[in-house]
Every structure is written in C-alpha cells, then in structure tokens.
Amino acid sequence: MTASGSAEIVDMADARARMGAEPAGDGAAHSGLRLAQAREARGASIAEAAARTHIRESHLVAIEAADASGLPPRAYALGFVKTYAEYLELESRAVVEQFKIDAGYDAPAPIETEKFGAAEEAAQAEPGELSLPVFIAILAFILWSAWQITTTGKVTPIGEGEGPTAPAFSEPAVTPPLEAGAIVEARAIERIEPVYPFSCTANAAPVETVSVAFTVTAGGRVAAERIAGTTNNCFDQAALNALRRWRFEPRTVDGAVRPSYDQTHSFTFSRP
C-alpha cells in the first residue's frame, strides 16, 4: 500500500526477469532468488509478506531482484533484508552478506580517471613544451588536490556550528569528543498491542495509561524493560508482556549496529 492508501502494482514478471536463475558469486544461490523461493515454499504472496514484515511490496520485489536502485539507503535496505530473511526463517546474516554482493554494495567505487588525465599529459611532456591549456590544467589539478586535502582532513563533531563560532586558536575541550558518523535511530518494525486484562475492570478508570522504559539491543529486541509510570498497576504486566514482543531495526552508526538505551513508550488501556 502507498502512503495515500492505494495499492502499488508490482510487475512480478519483470522482477523475475531481473533476478534470473543462475547461481551468484562462488556458487552460493542469488540471495533474492533464495528469498523468493522460501516465500513461495511458504505459499505466501508478496502482499502477505509485506503485511507480516511491514515492508512495502515494491521494496520486497526489489530485494528479491537484488535491485539496490529500488531500495532506500543502504542501512535501511540491509535492515529490510534481515527482517525479510528472519520472517522466512532463513539464516539472516548469510543472506545479508550475500545480498551485499548481489546488490553491488561491496563493489569498489569507480575511479574518476578523467580528473588525472591532464596531469598525466603534462607529466609526459618535455620541459619547455607546455602549452597554456596544459599549464591551466596542471594548476587546476593542484588546486583541486589542495581542496580535497583540506576538506577531508577535518572531522566535525556532532553539534558543532549550532552556537557561536569558536576562536581559531581556542584550547581543546577537556571532555571526550562526541561519537561522529551517520546515525540512524532504532525504529519499531513490529508492534504488539497489549491485551486488556479483564480481571482489572472492577477497579479501573475508563482509560488507564502505563509508561514503560526499555533498551533496544543490537539484535533489535527489547531488554531491561521496566515500568516508568502507571495510573493503575494492575495493567503493568500486560504492558510489559506486549512490549517484550516488539521488534526493531536497531540503531546504526556509520552502518554498524548499536544498542539504544532509555527508550520509552506509553500504552493506553480503554475499557471495552
């Protein structure tokens, strides 16, 4: 389903044509083909798999085709592959690693050789034979190299630039530097609502609220769950039981998973 509520039309024939049936790499099955075969073996359609995993149908089709162009950024895409593999009861780590290869995430970046063509031409020329265009190309290359060194040699800590600019020669801070990098916070991919405990009805208000605090582990599970606040402790256990069944895409820093501490959520119990 799209955000507007309309169904997305997925061309499965096109997806299968892109997937192919040949084994990939060192003989391991194409990761997308393995996922598609596992889904079909379960008798599940793309729509059913999307409803169970909370992943859009178009993204599942792109995963089965190992088509990175049809997926969100790398960290989200690999999280979707892991969730899909776990739903199909496959070994998720092996599927994710193979998917990186099949989708081209592990391919080396292309070398921009055109930037160095002018410099190579100038290096091969005899002294005194440099023309004005070649001299300009050499100068441009030197300036470009200096700019690259200047920009890549500076690491900006998180939060820098949010206040007044510090003096150029200020003393270094005593506190340790903040963790730098691209951070993607934990995101719930499977939520279970609590069951209203009828044994609590007699002493319950029309609406009761239980606030919980917890940690999301690097594996996307709930740990260290506890009650942070409650209007009626008769409902506490029902809230904790539901929370323990939640599943998350874990927090990542530069693509590496990290636990998320001090997460909170409030459950509301309305009298039936």
| Ordered structural domains, the chain, with CATH | 12-102 (1.10.260.40), 183-270 (3.30.2420.10)
For residue 207, pLDDT over 60 is answered with: yes
CA atoms within 13 A on the CB side of 250: 20
Q: What is the CA radius of gyration of the chain?
A: 27
Instruction: State the average pLDDT over residues 2-25.
Output: 45
Q: Which amino acid is at 238?
A: A
3-state class of 251 per DSSP? strand
Tokens of 45: 């359609």
Residue pLDDT, tens place only, 86-124: 999 999 999 999 999 998 887 554 444 455 455 555 555
Query: Which pLDDT belongs to residue 19?
Result: 46
What value does the mean pLDDT of the chain take?
78
3-state class of 207 per DSSP? strand
Instruction: State the average pLDDT over residues 1-13.
Output: 45
Query: Which pLDDT belongs to residue 118?
Result: 52
For residue 10, pLDDT over 50 is answered with: no
Instruction: State the average pLDDT over residues 12-37.
Output: 59
Cβ–Cβ < 8 Å for 216, 248: yes
Strands of the 207-216 sheet, one edge to the other:
222-230, 207-216, 260-270
pLDDT band for 151, please (50, 70, 90 cuts). low
For residue 165, pLDDT over 50 is answered with: no
Q: Which residues of 164-193 are buried (b: 16+ CB within 10 A; e: fewer)?
A: eeeeeeeeeeeeeeeeeeeebebeebeeee
For residue 268, pLDDT over 50 is answered with: yes
Instruction: State the average pLDDT over residues 168-187.
Output: 61
For residue 7, pLDDT over 60 is answered with: no
For residue 146, pLDDT over 80 is answered with: no
Query: Which pLDDT belongs to residue 201?
Result: 87
Residue pLDDT, tens place only, 209-267: 999 999 999 999 999 999 999 999 999 999 999 999 999 999 999 889 999 999 999 99
